[in-house]
Amino acid sequence: IRGRVLELMARAHVCRRALFQELEGQGIFVLDYEKLDDGQRAYADRYFLDTVYPVLTSLAFDPGRPFPHISNLSLNLSVLIRDAKSDEH
């Protein structure tokens, strides 16, 4: 299983690199927040607070709750949040 997983991960990385190159060709860049300068960070922070954050809706799910309804034709993200100082989620 490990060998197959490593193969699939390698293929995924190749696809990701190709996708990012195609996006860059269209003027779309995926950048690390840490590598932005102060002005770029300020712009990204303001854009997030003004445009993205107001439309975010969190949905918690765990074994004790039913899986939440996920709308079709919309962007849905699944995020696992961990405390950097412990193993708690």
For 46-68, write each residue's pLDDT tens digit: 999 999 998 887 777 778 888 87
pTM: 0.56
Rounded-to-integer distance, Cα 28 and Cα 55, Å: 22
Per-residue pLDDT at 21: 97
24: part of which helix (H) or strand (E)? helix 2-25
Q: Where are the domains of the chain?
A: 2-55
